[in-house]
């Protein structure tokens, strides 16, 4: 009985500790600024300091569950007509290609973004990294889902391809590694179901409510209502960025990182908060 009570207390303390705000520190080494989250360097590659997420089996693809629910806005359904919902970041027509009812990134074409803008939302997307994997680490099947045009849920071929855990498939880039690695092999369709709460800033530009993410990858929970500690931009060797004030709505964008990654079946539901 005593042991049970102690275990319960330990569990409670662990839960309380994990709910705490992450401690962000910075250090300058060799003229580069390095950021640490709870003492772990951003983009830490040493598994002794930042263990790789456990590899788990993804859930089978469920065509019924991935259909756009009634009332959802379909952003892309494989048709030429819905590709018209998207543009290049500068508003010009996108150079991404329509291939086999999917939109495929084209090296050098730049990011693709929705014409419409969104704040808090539930977003479903499907992606496939190239069937013939090329490159390694961050160079293999790299793209990304940018909510509000800037908060990145990483897209990467993380099937038998290791990289720093906070940059692998499903990572909130540079901020939080996924709970587990639920990746499918290259070329296979994978799903993200993202629930996002937008950040809020005061008049002076100070953050008053941080962004939150719940992410389900191939049916497996990989982020459970995680508070994003700051921006997810790549800003130097190991320095993540801070929050910078922006409007309450922004586009959904996908990254052109030079690899022909495909996307399909994209729909969104706006959430009022």
Q: Which of 22, 268, 272 is nearest to 145 (CA)?
A: 268
Helices assigned H by DSSP within 104-144: none
Going edge to edge, which strands form the sheet with 86-88?
Answer: 86-88, 112-114, 253-254, 143-147, 151-155
Report 218-257 residues binding Mg ion (CB under 5 A): 255
Among 110, 144, 149, 199, binds Mg ion (CB under 5 A): 144
CB of 200 to Mg ion, least distance (A): 26
Considering the complex, state which of residue 74 and residue 139 has its C-beta at the smaller distance from Mg ion. 139
Q: How far is the CB of 150 from Mg ion (least distance, A)?
A: 12
- Enumerate the H helices of the chain as residue ranges: 2-18, 80-83
Q: Distance between CA atoms of 40 and 59, rounded to whole angstroms?
A: 31
Considering the complex, state which of residue 144 and residue 199 has its C-beta at the smaller distance from Mg ion: 144
Q: Minimum Å distance from CB 142 to Mg ion? A: 5
Least Cβ distance, residue 41 to Mg ion (angstroms): 19
170 touching Mg ion, by CB under 5 A: no
Residue nearest to Mg ion (CB): 144
The whole-angstrom separation of Cα 222 and Cα 43 is 18
Would you mind telling me the total number of residues written for the chain in this entry?
273
- Contact positions toward Mg ion, by CB under 5 A? 142, 144, 154, 255
């Amino acid at each position: 009985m005593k042991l049970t009570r102690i275990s319960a207390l330990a569990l409670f303390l662990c839960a309380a500790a994990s709910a705490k705000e992450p401690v962000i520190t910075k250090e300058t080494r060799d003229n580069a600024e390095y950021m640490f989250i709870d003492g772990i360097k951003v983009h830490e590659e040493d598994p002794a300091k930042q263990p790789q997420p456990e590899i788990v089996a993804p859930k089978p693809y469920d065509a019924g569950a991935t259909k756009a629910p009634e009332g959802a806005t379909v952003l892309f359904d494989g048709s030429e007509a819905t590709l018209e919902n998207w543009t290049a970041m500068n508003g010009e027509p996108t150079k991404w290609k329509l291939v086999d009812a999917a939109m495929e990134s084209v090296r050098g074409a730049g990011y693709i973004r929705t014409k419409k803008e969104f704040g808090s939302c539930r977003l479903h997307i499907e992606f496939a990294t190239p069937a013939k994997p090329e490159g390694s680490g961050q160079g293999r099947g790299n793209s990304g889902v940018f909510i509000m045009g800037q908060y990145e849920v990483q897209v990467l071929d993380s099937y038998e391809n290791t990289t720093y855990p906070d940059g692998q498939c499903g990572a909130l880039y540079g901020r939080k590694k996924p709970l587990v690695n639920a990746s499918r092999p290259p070329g296979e369709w994978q799903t993200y179901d993202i629930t996002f709460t937008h950040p809020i800033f005061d008049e002076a530009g100070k953050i008053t409510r941080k962004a939150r993410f719940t992410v389900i990858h191939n049916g497996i929970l990989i982020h459970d209502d995680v508070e994003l500690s700051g921006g997810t931009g790549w800003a130097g060797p190991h320095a993540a960025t801070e929050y910078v004030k922006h409007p309450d709505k922004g586009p959904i964008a996908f990254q052109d990182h030079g690899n022909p990654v495909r996307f399909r079946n994209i729909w969104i539901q706006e959430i009022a908060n």
